[in-house]
Structure 1
Amino acid sequence: MSETSPPMPLLDDEALDTLDDFLASDKVDPEALDLIGTHGFLVALAIAPIETPATTWIAELFHGDPQFADAAQREQILGFCETLKQNAIEALEHGHLPELPFDLELGDIAPEETPIGDWCAGFMEGVFLNEVAWFEHDEARVAELLLPFMALSGLFDDEPDMHELIADSTRAEALVKQLPELILDLYLHYRVPEEKPKPTPRKKKPAGRPGGKGRR
């Protein structure tokens, strides 16, 4: 389980390097997510309570249709993305934590200037694809679980509450450390039914005398 097993890598190094090179190339829109943001985006899709059509998330991830060299490259790159997402599902389904592509420390650097912030921003982009579905069940609990991702992403700097969360470096570092467990908590939130309290047994009424009313 997650307490004893090391985090599980979602793609091998060679696949990550190939995906990184493609995302950094001029074949992809400059506004598209980089490798770190893509990792966060696909992990969010693995957690999401509903399946997003591939055509939708591909267009969002790449900000349009990339200029693949040929069908083989298209199959390879999109295959890596799908594999990363499915490996995240597989890990979380078995209670394992996915390996994140960064060290879990900020080092006194603003979150939005680190890979941590980039990853969380990509994760939140994945949430925005189906925001209604994410918050449809127990909105308060989901908001609580997503708070560190939101605060670290740098996407909500204009909100005082978010800024306050990361203004203190100690508190910000604590949020970063929570990320792996929160990923698993979010996945389980949507897939493990809540335990309903057992109904209180009804007390049996004492049997009455034959004929209804008893004698006085």
Structure 2
Amino acid sequence: MAKMLDQTLTDEELDQLDQFLYSDAVGKDAMSLSMLHGYLTAILIGPAQVMPNEWMAQIWDKPEAVIFALPEADKMIDLVMRLYNQIADELAQDPSTYEPMLYWEDDAQEHSSIEEWSLGFCYGAGLAEEQWQPLLDEEEGQFMFMAIMSGSDEEMREDMQREGIDLVSHDNQIAEQLPEMVLEIRDFFRNQQISASKQHRLH
């Protein structure tokens, strides 16, 4: 089982998970695949260790007991855990391979939609809101988080429109910057933990 959970998801398995998350079985407000990817990314790069039994229930729009009773539950939960491990491995072993799973606004695949990924990321950070605050206390950290948040926050997007900002161009620009921002946020919290560990040893 451990070996299976380390295997990268195939395109077919990603499609299966995507379809499951959009099915009536999990509820109409369950996370999409893109939202799930952003959610898991925030959990993995954040400062707090959030265990699967804490974050798993937030994926569905139905009680876990209902989800776990589904015939396909074991397979789909395995796919979720493998996606979690896949993101963790990319970030730890080869960050250059990390890429957010985004949807496209058009058939030509020229305009990325960051809305759902952004929303998932904010949900993930919200699981440890207090521990994320040091990032927001830093100017650069606040800029990065707000840039990600701008993909899904309706009030921010309305303000940008009033200022004449083209949201499609904005989202495309943020989409290109997401991998770099994810790694910078991860490194911010890593350095914070290293600094705290050194201070603890000095005392």
| Shorter-chain TM-score range | 0.7 to 0.9
Please tell me whether the aligned partners of residues 36 and 115 of structure 1 are also in contact (alpha carbons under 8 angstroms). no
Secondary structure, in 3 states, of the residue corresponding to 2:172? Answer: helix
Q: Which residue of 2 is the match for residue 115 of structure 1?
A: 113
Please tell me whether the aligned partners of residues 21 and 31 of structure 2 are also in contact (alpha carbons under 8 angstroms). yes
Please tell me whether the aligned partners of residues 43 and 124 of structure 2 are also in contact (alpha carbons under 8 angstroms). yes
Percent of pairs identical after alignment?
24
Q: 1:115 to 1:134 in 2, by over 3 A?
A: same
Q: Give the superposition deviation at 1:143.
A: 1.4
Structure 1 runs not aligned, ≥5 long:
1-8, 108-112, 197-216
Letter of the 1:125 counterpart: Y
Instruction: Give distance in 2, aligned partners of 1:10 and 1:192.
Output: 29
Instruction: Give distance in 2, aligned partners of 1:163 and 1:132.
Output: 32
Secondary structure, in 3 states, of the residue corresponding to 1:153? Answer: coil
Secondary structure, in 3 states, of the residue corresponding to 1:192? Answer: helix
Q: Which residue of 2 is the match for residue 43 of structure 1?
A: 41
Instruction: Give distance in 2, aligned partners of 1:95 and 1:145.
Output: 22
Letter of the 2:122 counterpart: M
Instruction: Give distance in 2, aligned partners of 1:25 and 1:32.
Output: 9
Q: Which residue of 1 is the match for residue 3 of structure 2?
A: none
Q: Give the superposition deviation at 1:15.
A: 1.8
Q: Give the superposition deviation at 1:100.
A: 2.4
Task: Looking at secondary structure, tell me which structure has more helix per residue.
Answer: 2
Relative to the length of structure 1, the TM-score reads: 0.69
Q: Which residue of 2 is the match for residue 102 of structure 1?
A: 102
Q: Which residue of 1 is the match for residue 14 of structure 2?
A: 16
44-53 vs 129-138, greater mean Cα deviation: 129-138
Q: Give the superposition deviation at 1:74.
A: 2.5
Asked if 1:148 corresponds to 2:147, the answer is yes
Instruction: Give distance in 1, aligned partners of 2:153 and 2:42.
Output: 17
RMSD: 3.4
Instruction: Give distance in 1, aligned partners of 2:136 and 2:147.
Output: 18
Q: Which residue of 2 is the match for residue 34 of structure 1?
A: 32
The structure number with the bigger radius of gyration is: 1
Q: Give the superposition deviation at 1:18.
A: 1.5
Instruction: Give distance in 2, aligned partners of 1:136 and 1:44.
Output: 15
Q: 1:54 to 1:156 in 2, by over 3 A?
A: farther
Q: Which residue of 2 is the match for residue 157 of structure 1?
A: 156
Relative to the length of structure 2, the TM-score reads: 0.72
Q: Give the superposition deviation at 1:50.
A: 1.0
How far does the alpha carbon of each residue in 1:132-156 deviate from its partner, in whole angstroms, 9 at most, with x for none? Answer: 1112356224312212211112344
How far does the alpha carbon of each residue in 1:103-157 deviate from its partner, in whole angstroms, 9 at most, with x for none? Answer: 7x867xxxxx963211111111111111111123562243122122111123443
Q: Which residue of 1 is the match for residue 91 of structure 2?
A: 92
Please tell me whether the aligned partners of residues 32 and 62 of structure 1 are also in contact (alpha carbons under 8 angstroms). yes
Structure 2 runs not aligned, ≥5 long:
1-6, 196-203
The number of aligned residues is 182
Instruction: Give distance in 2, aligned partners of 1:135 and 1:166.
Output: 28
